[in-house]
Amino acid sequence: MGDDAHKHAHWVYAHPRAGSLNAALRDAGVERLRRDGWTVDVADLYAERFDPILVEEGGADVCSAQRRLVSADLVVLQFPLWWYGPPAMLKGWIDRVFERGFAYDVPDPTTGRNRKYGDGGLAGRRALAVVTAGDRPGSISPRGISGDVEDVLWPLLHGTFWYSGMEALEPHLVTNVHGIDAGGVRRLGEDLAERLGTVGTENPIPYLPMTDEYYDHSIALRRTSRRG
pLDDT given for residue 5 in this prediction: 54
Radius of gyration of the chain (CA): 18
Q: Residue 189: inside a domain, yes or no?
A: yes
Mean pLDDT calculated for residue range 203-218: 87
pLDDT given for residue 1 in this prediction: 55
Q: Residue 223: inside a domain, yes or no?
A: no
Q: How far apart are the first and last CA of the chain?
A: 19
Mean pLDDT calculated for residue range 87-105: 96
What band does 162 get if pLDDT is binned at 50, 70 and 90? very high
Q: What is the mean pLDDT of the chain?
A: 92
Q: Residue 15: inside a domain, yes or no?
A: yes
Q: pLDDT over 90 for what percent of the chain? A: 70
39 by DSSP, 3-state: which?
strand
Q: Residue 222: inside a domain, yes or no?
A: no
Q: Residue 179: inside a domain, yes or no?
A: yes
Q: Residue 202: inside a domain, yes or no?
A: no
What band does 136 get if pLDDT is binned at 50, 70 and 90? confident
pLDDT given for residue 172 in this prediction: 97
Per-residue model confidence as pLDDT tens digits over 166-197: 999 999 999 988 888 999 899 999 999 999 99
Does residue 56 have a pLDDT over 90? Answer: yes
Return the ∠ at Cα 3 (arms to 98 and 31), rounded to 5°: 70
Mean pLDDT calculated for residue range 45-56: 96
For residue 35, give its domain range: 8-196
Mean pLDDT calculated for residue range 47-60: 96
The CATH number given to whatever domain includes residue 175 is: 3.40.50.360
> Which is higher by pLDDT, 218 or 186?
186
What band does 44 get if pLDDT is binned at 50, 70 and 90? very high
The pTM assigned to this predicted structure is 0.91
State how many domains the chain has. 1
Strand partners, 12: 43, 77
Provide the pairing of β-strand 167-168 with 74-80: unpaired
pLDDT given for residue 76 in this prediction: 98
Count CB atoms within 10 A of the CB of residue 115: 20
Does residue 225 have a pLDDT over 70? Answer: no
| Beta carbons of 74 and 125 less than 8 angstroms apart | yes
> Which is higher by pLDDT, 220 or 64?
64
Does residue 219 have a pLDDT over 50? Answer: yes
pLDDT given for residue 2 in this prediction: 47
Q: Residue 227: inside a domain, yes or no?
A: no
Does residue 131 have a pLDDT over 90? Answer: yes
pLDDT given for residue 174 in this prediction: 94
Q: Residue 67: inside a domain, yes or no?
A: yes
| Beta carbons of 126 and 200 less than 8 angstroms apart | yes
| Side-chain half-sphere exposure of 119, counting CA atoms within 13 A | 11
Does residue 3 have a pLDDT over 60? Answer: no
